[in-house]
A and B are shown apart, each in its own frame.
Chain A
Amino acid sequence: MALTRNTEAFVPAKPTGPVTRWALRHVATSVGALGRLVRQPFASLMTILVIAVTLALPAAMHLVIKNAQSLSGNWDSALDFSLYLKPGTSTEDAARLAELIRQRADVQAVTRISSEEALEEFKLQSGFGSALDHLSENPLPHTIVVRPAGRNTEQSMALMQEELGNLPETDFVQADTDWVQRFHAILDMLERAIAIGAGLLGAAIVVIIGNTIRLDIQNRREEIEVTKLIGASNGFVRRPFLYSGLWYGLGGGVLALVLVAYGMFALKAPVGRLAGLYDSSFSILSLSFEESLLTIGTGVALGLAGSWLAVARHLRRIEPR
């Protein structure tokens, strides 16, 4: 159906079952409402743009968090374990154990630091130097530094840490994940803050669409009165306005995705360059299919909610005089 002045006119031909008739009537009304928006391109685009920006804001913030999480995920699996062996473990046993760990599938590399090497290093770095020569025996244990393979998940890392800790020669295993966990906690907090902000912005969208529809109702007051006068039900009068709200929300959602996609496109090159400087293979993540659907769905739902509010409040009061 072309978007001409007459789009609201008639339900397509072929008399069929009541359900089909009902569906066709809805299609005709929705196309009519769309035609109305298209006939006022500037005003409609302004409304849609405001909705798009309001939707794109939380979506973009979510993407920033998501990328930060994936980035810290990389760090997570790149962490090394330090395996301190029990005092009294012989150098040969330590070497054998290191070889054993090296053969694990989830391990990328193993470095063995003998207690002697550790003591030498400590002497050099601590500055106690010759004072340590007076020790009757070496207080430092043998250490095995384990670098896990890159494909490990958080769970498999935890499991590996436990397994290494349970080895009979192990005194204790240290994985310096504290700061990563703190970083995750900060991200979680930011995500919560964004969710709150998104809630407020959602309310703003409801108000924006509600107000737009309210103005639309006022402008078409005479038409509403006339149609009610010749027998239109409240439902009939309400439908085109609800569809307008739906179209605003849908348009806003789609445009929000376009805005976010454009932002990602603009960031791709600089992020790639930065990652290259750090020898990282990190590449920026975009919205997934589900997240895109959620953005559009949210737009549609808020659009409907806004128009429903306006319609419930203002349409009932318009009665023929």
Chain B
Amino acid sequence: MIRLEDVTKRFPGGQEALKNLTMSVDKGEMVFVTGHSGAGKSTLLRLIALIERPTSGQVIVDGRNTRRVTRRKIPAYRRQIGMVFQDHKLLYDRSVFDNVGLPLVIAGVSRRDAARKVRAALDQVGLLQKEKRNPETLSTGEQQRVGIARAIVSRPKLLIADEPTGNLDPDLSLEVMRIFRRFNEVGVTLLIASHDIALIDQLGCRRIPLENGTVKVEEDDDFIDDYAHEAAVDFERQPWR
């Protein structure tokens, strides 16, 4: 589903976010990208979402080389992918229902179909009762679930999430991960950037650990403690802000 071949991303300042990264995610997999902040997790997801372009190397998504996705075709490309963000990126001038329905409005789905799909998506994240509320009146966990509902409302085959549990306490994080798990069970491919190692271990999914922009060879267990420390630091920095 996702294949990166020898990808390097260098920013104008000369700083290298990704260095000769090669990795892949199969169809139907649920994979976590882990690593310190600055290890290149976000950059990786941004390359897949075409928010950034690689300096060199190939990014292939669903059999399509993103190099061939021109500027004009980016919107249609992004509509194929569900995206979840640490800071939700909801719009606070409209209801939960309208937030979740936005991708359908963009795609020009008819009103009746849209309403049905929005309710189905809200049902899946357990927020059917709150469709008329303004997202501002919801808790952080609920807001994140609205963001997830929006990401899956057009039934994408691929869902990418950048620190989806970054702002959540452990119980809510587990709840969000369970929701992701259920999508995975119905065939959605998921690529999730997270540093919550304990949580990931609980789920037993494959991990791609990044360090300094490339895949790190995993050695022992005590790096988990390192990550626990890093998680706290990351939480403070909120890299997506």
- Give residues in A with beta carbon < 8 Å to B: 5-6, 8-15, 21, 25, 222-223, 226-234, 236, 319-321
Residues in A whose Cβ lies below 8 Å from that of B95: 5-6
Inter-chain contacts of A321 with B (CB < 8 A): 51
Q: In the complex, what residues of B have CB within 8 A of residue A14's CB?
A: 110, 112
Main secondary structure of the interface of B (DSSP, over half): helix
Among B9-17, B22-30, B76-84, B122-130, the stretch in contact with A: B76-84
Is B76's CB under 8 angstroms from A5's CB?
Answer: no
| B-side contacts of A11, CB under 8 Å | 105, 108-111, 114
B75 adjacent to chain A (CB < 8 Å):
yes
Query: Which of B98, B102, B114 has the most chain A CB within a 10 Å cutoff?
Result: B102
A5 CB contacts on chain B under 8 angstroms = 93-95
Contact between A13 and B75, CB atoms less than 8 A apart: no
The answer to whether B78 and A13 have CB atoms under 8 Å apart is no
Q: Mark B214-234, 1 if CB is under 8 A from A, else 0.
A: 000000000000000000000
Q: Which B residue's beta carbon lies closest to that of A232?
A: B106
In the complex, whether B203 has a CB less than 8 A from a CB of chain A is no
Partner of B75, one of A6, A9, A226, A232: A232
Is there contact, CB below 8 Å, between B108 and A228? no
Q: Of B77, B97, B106, B108, which contacts A227 at CB under 8 A?
A: B106
Known contacts A13-B112, A15-B113, A321-B51; is A231 also within 8 Å of B106 by CB?
A: yes
Assuming the contacts A5-B94, A230-B103, asked whether A10 and B51 have C-beta atoms less than 8 A apart, the reply is: no
Can you name 13 extra interface pairs (CB under 8 A) apart from A13-B110, A236-B106? A9-B105, A9-B111, A11-B114, A13-B112, A15-B112, A222-B91, A229-B89, A230-B78, A230-B103, A231-B76, A231-B107, A233-B106, A236-B75
Most chain A CB inside 10 Å of its own CB: which residue of B75, B89, B98, B101: B75
Residues of A within 8 A of B91 (CB): 222-223, 226
Residues from chain B with a CB closer than 8 A to the CB of A25 are 108
Which residues from chain A contact B76 at a C-beta distance below 8 Å? 231, 233
Q: How far is the CA of A25 from the CA of B110 in the complex (A)?
A: 9
Please tell me if B157 contacts chain A, counting CB pairs below 8 Å: no
B79 with A231: CB separation less than 8 A: yes
With CB as the reference atom, state the residue of chain A lying closest to B79: A231
A67 and B212 alpha carbons, distance in the complex (Å): 80
User: When the two chains form their complex, are residues A13 and B111 in contact, meaning their CB atoms are under 8 A apart?
Assistant: yes
A interface, over-half SS: loop
Say whether B89 contacts A9, CB under 8 Å.
no
- Top 6 A-B residue pairs of the complex, sorted by shortest distance between their CB atoms: A231-B79, A10-B111, A231-B78, A233-B75, A13-B112, A15-B110
Bound-complex Cα distance A223 to B94 (A): 11
In the complex, residue of chain B having the shortest beta-carbon distance to the beta carbon of A18 = B108
A-B contact pairs, 22 of them (CB 8 A): A6-B98, A9-B97, A9-B101, A10-B101, A10-B104, A10-B105, A10-B115, A13-B112, A14-B112, A15-B110, A21-B110, A222-B91, A223-B91, A229-B51, A230-B102, A231-B76, A231-B77, A231-B103, A231-B106, A232-B75, A233-B75, A236-B75
Contact of B89 among A13, A226, A231 (CB under 8 A): A226
Partner of A10, one of B49, B79, B90, B114: B114
Does residue B36 face the partner (Cβ distance < 8 Å to A)?
no
Cβ of B145 under 8 Å from chain A: no
Say yes or no: is B150 at the interface (Cβ < 8 Å to chain A).
yes
In whole Å, how far is A21's beta carbon from the nearest beta carbon of chain B? 6
Determine the residue in chain B with the shortest Cβ distance to A228: B75
Interface residues of B in 188-236 (CB under 8 A from A): none
Q: How far is B40's CA from A319's CA once the two chains are assembled, in angstroms?
A: 21
Whether the Cβ atoms of B106 and A320 lie closer than 8 Å is no
Partner of B111, one of A12, A222, A232, A233: A12
By a CB distance below 8 angstroms, the chain B residues around A6 are: 94-95, 98
Contact indicator A229/B94 (Cβ below 8 Å): no
Residue of B nearest to A223 (CB): B91
Q: Choose among A9, A222, A230 the residue that contacts B106 (Cβ–Cβ < 8 A).
A: A230
CA distance A11 to B76 in the complex (A): 19
Q: Distance (Å) between the CB of A299 and the closest chain B CB? A: 28
Is the CB–CB distance between B105 and A230 below 8 Å?
A: no
Q: Which residues between 46 and 95 of chain B lie within 8 Å of chain A, taking CB atoms?
A: 49, 51, 75-79, 83, 89-91, 93-95
Residues of B within 8 A of A319 (CB): 51
- The residue on B at minimum CB distance from A39 is B93
